Structure 1
Amino acid sequence: MGTLDWIVVAGYFFVMVAIGIWSRGRIHNISDFFTAGGKMPWWLSGISHHMSGYSAVMFVAFAAEAYRLGLTVYVWWSLTIGIGVGIGAFLWAPAWNRLRSKHGVKSPLEYLARRYNVPTQQVMAWAGAMLKVVDIAAKWVAVALLLQGFAGVPIFWGIALTGVVTMIYSVLGGLWADALTDFGQFIIQAAAGFAMFFAVASHFGGISFMWEIWDKLPENHSEPLAGPYTLTFFMALFLIKTLEYNGGMWNLAQRYMAAPSGYEAKRSALLSAGLWLVWPLVLFFPMWAAPLIVPGMENNAEQAYVAMGKMMLPAGMIGLVLAGFFSHTMAMVSSDANVITAVITRDILPRIWKGAVRLSSDAQLQLARVTTFLFIGLSMTIALTADTKGFVLKVVIALVAATMGPIAIPLMLGLLPWFRKFGPSAAIASVVGGLSTWAFLYTEQQFLKDFTVTQALIVSTPLIVSLVLYLGIGLLKPEPSESRDELLESLRSDEPERDEAVKA
């Protein structure tokens, strides 16, 4: 990297801190900190929702799979998310918003105490928080690997640099800072993505490379499902991503909660869905062409995108691409930290420390900021002590994707009126059964070296067990509740008179 590249990166970090400082003036209470007070425009909510699904993982782990296997990574990742978010625009996005506007909910798990009971809420809160801290650690490692590849910066300093800057603006600016950095990320990613796309097009002599490269690549690179990514894996991941990106990944539920109304939240979801179907193609085509530009990197495919960027991009553009990597990770981590802080301060702490519910408004806001600081610090510590080789893909697929289903099923299906009689017995059994299944299979594969336990099995089986338990126990042991019926009925419309009719 040259001087101009470093200037671009330094400028990016300066802007991120400035956004945090500016956003601090918009934060007056925990409602502003966690849900932007319900004042976020639908288009900003939609862009933020879309960009919160990216991190440097895409340019490390997913780029490596694109290099090795081709088209399949778009099919099982971007396509599943785009379709799933489109479905969720009608099923879940408005309901999340109405939980905030009608019931004062500030954390995605806050409604679970009323929907099921407090033990269900606590099981899901603790399991999800522990999962997320490891997920964030993988993102720190991913961006540090990219910084090492582009600039030779040691892993330790890469994690420390990005972590500290993220910590500053997250602690200061809350969800407003998250959304504004997401928007900045959107602009940077567009510039960097198109720069790489057109550099690759120029290398091959024109835009026709998009359909001409496939004859030059291995035959399986044009297959929609290849390698370990089977039809079973695809179907399981489609259900997982539908649940995850509609609120199972808690920070994305926040984006819908931050919109002014349920209708505006629906528009946000449709915008995000459209972006998921189209924009990743611009990013993936250079990755698919990479074996023809930097061949022979199958054993070090995680550095393929870095090698191609250093070869093809002019001075300044490498810095912009690297800033894009930073923005992916920092925006997602900030978003995750904000929602985990909401869960800890709103759902976990009040159950273990009664004084938390008696804090003043200012003290609650201060507690939220301290919790954000500690959570990001813990994730950085895990990242700094991890074995970085293969860590990113292992966490993203074998841990996060495999355990997201059991955590998300009771949370997401609990918002739908069709499951109104499904109570806490079904919910707790679903979470515990699914996570226990994952722990057994993961132990068999990783520690007992049972290679019949495939990646598809690790991802799909916990999901199936969790879903079967939720549906089976919910149908065999219905637990109707008038309070639950009233809650779900209130989420069907933005109109207040519907709620008044229910209360009457």
Structure 2
Amino acid sequence: MESLDWVVVAGYFVVMVGIGLWSRGRIKNVADFFTAGGKMPWWLSGISHHMSGYSAVMFVAFAAEAYRLGLTVYIWWSLTIGIGVGIGAFLWAPAWNRLRSKHDVKSPLEYLAIRYNVPTQQVMAWAGAGLKVVDIAAKWVAVALLLQGFAGVPIGWGIALVGVVTMVYSVLGGLWADALTDFGQFVIQGLAGFAMFFAVASHFGGIDFMWTIWDKLPESHSDPLTGPYTLTFFMALFLIKTLEYNGGMWNLAQRYMAAPSGFAAKRSALLSAALWLVWPLVLFFPMWAAPLIVPGMEANAEQAYVEMGKAMLPAGMVGLVLAGFFSHTMAMVSSDANVITAVITRDILPRLWKGALSMSADAQLKLARITTFAFIGLSMTIALTADTKGFVLKVVIALVAATMGPIAIPLMLGLLPWFRKIGPTAALSSTVGGLSTWVFLYVEQQFLKDFAVSQALIVSTPLLVSLVLYLVIGFAKPEPSRERDALIDSLKSDEPDTAPERAVRS
């Protein structure tokens, strides 16, 4: 990297910290810290939702798969998310917002105490928090690998640098800082993405490279599904991503909660869905063309995007692209830290320490900031001590995708009126059964070396077990409740309820 590249990267970090300091003045209480007080414009909520959905993993693990296999990564990743979020705009986005506006919910899991019961809420909270801390560790490793590839910075220093900057603005500014940095990162990502796209177009002599490269690549690179990514994998991931990106990934539910109304949240979701369908194509085309520009990197495909950027971009642009990588990771990590803090302070801690319920507003805000600091610090520690080779893809696919279903199914289906009679027995069985299935398959694959346990199997089976348990037990043993019915009925519209409002927190 040249001096100008370092100036661009340093300037980016300064702006991010500045946003955190500015946002601090907008945070008066935990409602502002966790849900922006319901005052976030719908377009900012939608852009923030989109930006919070992916990280530098795209330019490491997914770029590697695009290099080795071609088109399929867009089909099973971006396309599934875009369609799934579009569906969720009608099913889930307004409901999340109405939980905040009608029931003063500040954490996506807060409503589970009434929808099911406290034990179910706690199992999901602990399992999800543990999952996210490892997931975020993978994000730190991904961005550090990119920094090492571009600038030769040791992985440990890369994790520390990006982690500390993210920690500063997340602790100070809460969700407002997350959303505003998401917007800034959206602009940077746009500049960086188009810079790489047009550099590749120039290399091939014009924009027609988008359809001419496929004749020069292996025939399988144009197949929608290939390699380990089978139809079974695609169908399972479509359901997982639909649940995950509509609120199963808790930080994305927060974006809908932060909008002014349920209608505004729906518009946010539709904007995010459109971005998911279109924008990744700009990012993926250079990745698909990479084997023609930097051939022979199949054994080290995680560095292919880095090598292409170094070969094709002028001074300053390399720094901009690297800042774009940082923006992806910092957007996701800061939003995850915020929502995990909400779950810990609103759902977990009050069950362990009754004094948490009687804390003053200032004390609650201070606790939220301390918890954010601790969560980011723990994830950085895991990243610093992990074996980085293959760590990113293993965590993103074998851990996060495979376990998201069992955690998300009771959370997401519990918001829908068709499942109103399904109660805590089914919900708890679904989560525990799905996670137990994943543990069994993962041990078989990783430690007992059972090669019959494929990637598709380890992703789809826990999801299927969880869904079957939820539906079969739920309909075989219905557990209706007037309180649950009132909660679900209140989420149908933005109009005030005629019945007295019930507080979600018990």
**Alignment partner, residue 254 of structure 2:** 254
Counterparts of 1:263 and 1:57, CA distance in 2: 32
**Alignment partner, residue 77 of structure 1:** 77
Counterparts of 1:487 and 1:261, CA distance in 2: 17
Q: Matches of residues 61-140 of structure 1 in structure 2 within 5 Å?
A: 61-140=61-140
Amino acid across the alignment from 1:28: K
Does residue 1:178 correspond to 2:178, yes or no? yes
Q: For residue 500 of structure 1, report the CA deviation from its aligned partner.
A: 5.8
CA contact (8 A) 1:174 1:338 kept: yes
Counterparts of 2:392 and 2:376, CA distance in 1: 17
Counterparts of 1:425 and 1:346, CA distance in 2: 23
Q: Matches of residues 241-390 of structure 1 in structure 2 within 5 Å?
A: 241-390=241-390
Q: For residue 502 of structure 1, report the CA deviation from its aligned partner.
A: 11
CA contact (8 A) 1:225 1:231 kept: yes
Counterparts of 1:114 and 1:178, CA distance in 2: 29
**Alignment partner, residue 44 of structure 1:** 44
Q: For residue 54 of structure 1, report the CA deviation from its aligned partner.
A: 1.4
Counterparts of 2:229 and 2:78, CA distance in 1: 14
CA contact (8 A) 1:490 1:499 kept: no
Counterparts of 1:362 and 1:500, CA distance in 2: 29
Counterparts of 2:34 and 2:143, CA distance in 1: 26
Describe the SS at the equivalent of 1:28: coil
Q: For residue 321 of structure 1, report the CA deviation from its aligned partner.
A: 0.3
**Alignment partner, residue 33 of structure 1:** 33
Amino acid across the alignment from 1:366: K
Describe the SS at the equivalent of 1:496: coil
Counterparts of 1:12 and 1:318, CA distance in 2: 13
For residues 317-354 of structure 1, the C-alpha deviation after alignment (integer angstroms, 9 at most, x for no partner) is: 00000000001101100000000000000000000001
CA contact (8 A) 1:89 1:266 kept: yes
Identity of aligned residues (%): 87
CA contact (8 A) 1:490 1:498 kept: no
Relative to 1, partners in 2 of residues 1:322 and 1:340: Cα closer, same or farther, differing over 3 Å? same
Amino acid across the alignment from 1:427: A
**Alignment partner, residue 452 of structure 1:** 452
Counterparts of 2:499 and 2:104, CA distance in 1: 14
CA contact (8 A) 2:102 2:501 kept: no
Describe the SS at the equivalent of 1:462: helix
**Alignment partner, residue 169 of structure 2:** 169
Amino acid across the alignment from 2:37: G
Counterparts of 1:135 and 1:294, CA distance in 2: 30
Q: Which structure 1 segments of 5+ residues have no match?
A: none
Counterparts of 2:54 and 2:201, CA distance in 1: 24
Describe the SS at the equivalent of 2:464: helix
Counterparts of 1:502 and 1:4, CA distance in 2: 57
Describe the SS at the equivalent of 2:60: helix
Describe the SS at the equivalent of 1:252: helix
**Alignment partner, residue 19 of structure 1:** 19
Q: For residue 498 of structure 1, report the CA deviation from its aligned partner.
A: 4.8
Does residue 1:54 correspond to 2:54, yes or no? yes
For residues 257-294 of structure 1, the C-alpha deviation after alignment (integer angstroms, 9 at most, x for no partner) is: 00000000000000000000000000000000000000
Counterparts of 1:340 and 1:477, CA distance in 2: 32
Give the structure-2-normalised TM-score: 0.99
Counterparts of 1:369 and 1:210, CA distance in 2: 46
Counterparts of 1:427 and 1:470, CA distance in 2: 6
CA contact (8 A) 1:403 1:435 kept: yes
Does residue 1:240 correspond to 2:204, yes or no? no
Counterparts of 1:194 and 1:330, CA distance in 2: 20
Q: Matches of residues 394-433 of structure 1 in structure 2 within 5 Å?
A: 394-433=394-433
Amino acid across the alignment from 1:185: Q
Describe the SS at the equivalent of 2:224: coil
Q: How many residues align?
A: 503
For residues 61-90 of structure 1, the C-alpha deviation after alignment (integer angstroms, 9 at most, x for no partner) is: 000000000000000000000000000000
**Alignment partner, residue 496 of structure 2:** 496
Give the structure-1-normalised TM-score: 0.99
Counterparts of 2:397 and 2:312, CA distance in 1: 30
**Alignment partner, residue 191 of structure 1:** 191
**Alignment partner, residue 393 of structure 1:** 393
Counterparts of 1:352 and 1:32, CA distance in 2: 24
CA contact (8 A) 1:80 1:242 kept: yes
After superposing on structure 2, the runs of 4+ consecutive aligned residues of structure 1 that deviate more than 3 Å are 497-503
Counterparts of 1:413 and 1:351, CA distance in 2: 24
Q: Which structure 2 segments of 5+ residues have no match?
A: none
Q: For residue 20 of structure 1, report the CA deviation from its aligned partner.
A: 0.3
CA contact (8 A) 1:178 1:335 kept: yes
CA contact (8 A) 1:141 1:383 kept: yes
Counterparts of 1:465 and 1:334, CA distance in 2: 32
